[in-house]
């Protein structure tokens, strides 16, 4: 959704400000006002000027309310807020796009609106979604930031990124691994034994042991404080991550393991989590510079709130 003076925008600004404070990045407030800039008979420069000034005034009010006059404001003409934010992210190599939740969601939960949903499928930089009423939550002491981990390269880089966030914010770090056993009535995976129930039980035990060891290895490889906390649970991955989010100040997820490179693309697990979590969620793109450990920090372009 475009920036306006709705509660969802206030939530996104509050989250973007918090993340910028942790990472040393600058903040840009963006409003996409509805105007088609392609030459045609319908071009009306006076109307465009009016809309742009109205957008500029609104952004300046938001900046003043936020209390940070160093934040940049950027009105952009486009009939599609998602398309405009996508183009801007590519143009400035944005470090992060931050959006709020739709007003129809539950208080304290994330639920992307239509623009945020589009940004979660193909954006070239990380996307953060703020829960409803996040701006009005009382200030909390440094708590816990978490990361979903599935053993993939993107997840390993995400763990290192979250470790840097935890170190910068003085919070604890929790690395979460969910293991979903193979169902007995499901076709066996490639390489799985074709035997009966006892074989399947044994194979699940081996898979679970391997998943637990991969989690231990990821935590052990973290360099410097804070020490990572392992969180291993057996069951549905999305349910486990949503439940874990109840105790987190921030949850970071990687994109699914297939789809366009250098793009955010939420899969089934991340898609469910980003619609139900009880804390802010950041989704990282797959196989791109933005999944490296410095992706959200000041060396990159500023976070953009849209």
Residue 306 has what pLDDT?
A: 61
Query: Residues of 26-40 as b/e, b for ≥16 C-beta within 10 angstroms?
Result: bbbbbbbbebeeeee
How far is Cα 140 from Cα 128, in angstroms, rounded to an integer? 19
Instruction: Give the tens place of pLDDT for each residue, 107-128.
Output: 667 776 777 777 777 777 888 9
| Token pair listed for 226 | 């804070």
* Residue scoring higher pLDDT (59 or 265): 59
Give 182: exposed, middle or buried? Use CB within 10 Å, 0-12, 13-18, 19+.
middle
| Token pair listed for 81 | 């807020």
Sheet bearing 127-129, strands edge to edge: 72-77, 28-33, 303-305, 96-99, 127-129, 281-284, 250-254, 144-148, 172-179, 228-234
Q: What's the whole-model pTM score?
A: 0.82
Cβ-contact 91, 125 below 8 angstroms: no
* Residue scoring higher pLDDT (62 or 232): 232
Given pLDDT bands bounded at 50, 70 and 90, which one contains residue 300? very low
Given pLDDT bands bounded at 50, 70 and 90, which one contains residue 261? very low
- Which residue has tokens 């929790």? 174
How far is Cα 290 from Cα 306, in angstroms, rounded to an integer? 19
Q: Tell me if the bond preceding 39 is cis, omega within 30° of 0.
A: no
Instruction: Give the tens place of pLDDT for each residue, 63-78.
Output: 888 777 788 999 999 9
What residue ranges do the domains of the chain occupy?
7-305
How far is Cα 284 from Cα 303, in angstroms, rounded to an integer? 14
How far is Cα 129 from Cα 306, in angstroms, rounded to an integer? 11
Cβ atoms within 10 Å of 197's Cβ, excluding its own: 8
Q: Where are the alpha helices (DSSP H) in the chain?
A: 7-23, 45-66, 81-92, 114-119, 153-169, 197-220, 237-245, 268-273
Number of H helices and number of E strands within the chain? Answer: 8, 10
Instruction: Give the tens place of pLDDT for each residue, 25-78.
Output: 888 999 999 887 766 555 677 888 899 999 999 999 988 887 777 889 999 999
Give 141: exposed, middle or buried? Use CB within 10 Å, 0-12, 13-18, 19+.
exposed
Query: Residues of 237-259 as b/e, b for ≥16 C-beta within 10 angstroms?
Result: bbbbbbbbbeebbbbbbbbbeeb
In CATH, the number for domain 7-305 is 3.40.50.12370
Instruction: Give the tens place of pLDDT for each residue, 143-157.
Output: 999 999 998 877 888
User: What are 208-212's contacts with CB under 8 Å, separation 24+?
Assistant: 208/179, 208/181, 208/234, 211/151, 211/177, 211/179, 212/177, 212/179
How far is Cα 150 from Cα 224, in angstroms, rounded to an integer? 22
| Token pair listed for 143 | 């708590």
The candidate with the shortest Cα–Cα distance to 135, out of 87, 98, 171, 177, is 98
């Amino acid at each position: 959704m475009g920036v306006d003076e709705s509660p969802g925008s206030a939530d996104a600004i509050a989250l973007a400000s918090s993340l910028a404070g942790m990472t040393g990045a600058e903040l840009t407030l963006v409003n996409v006002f509805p105007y088609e800039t392609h030459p045609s008979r319908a071009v009306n420069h006076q109307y465009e000027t009016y809309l742009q000034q109205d957008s500029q005034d609104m952004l300046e009010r938001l900046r003043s309310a936020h209390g940070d006059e160093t934040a940049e404001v950027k009105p952009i003409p486009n009939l599609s807020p998602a398309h405009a934010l996508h183009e801007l992210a590519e143009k400035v190599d944005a470090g992060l796009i931050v959006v709020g939740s739709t007003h129809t969601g539950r208080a304290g939960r994330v639920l992307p609106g239509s623009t945020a949903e589009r940004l979660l499928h193909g954006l070239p930089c990380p996307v953060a979604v703020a829960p409803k009423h996040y701006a009005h939550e009382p200030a909390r002491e440094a708590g816990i930031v978490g990361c979903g981990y599935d053993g993939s390269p993107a997840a390993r880089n995400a763990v290192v990124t979250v470790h840097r966030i935890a170190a910068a914010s003085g919070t604890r770090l929790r690395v979460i691994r969910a293991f979903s056993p193979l169902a007995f009535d499901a076709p066996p995976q490639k390489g799985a034994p074709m035997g009966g129930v006892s074989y399947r039980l044994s194979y699940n035990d081996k898979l679970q042991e391997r998943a637990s060891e991969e989690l231990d290895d990821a935590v052990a490889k973290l360099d410097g404080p804070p020490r990572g906390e392992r969180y291993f649970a057996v069951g549905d991955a999305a349910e486990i991550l949503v439940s874990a989010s109840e105790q987190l100040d921030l949850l970071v997820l990687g994109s699914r393991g297939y789809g366009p490179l250098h793009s955010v693309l939420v899969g089934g697990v991340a898609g469910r989590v980003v619609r139900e979590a009880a804390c802010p969620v950041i989704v990282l793109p797959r196989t791109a510079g933005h999944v490296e450990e410095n992706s959200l920090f000041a060396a990159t372009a500023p976070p953009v709130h849209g």
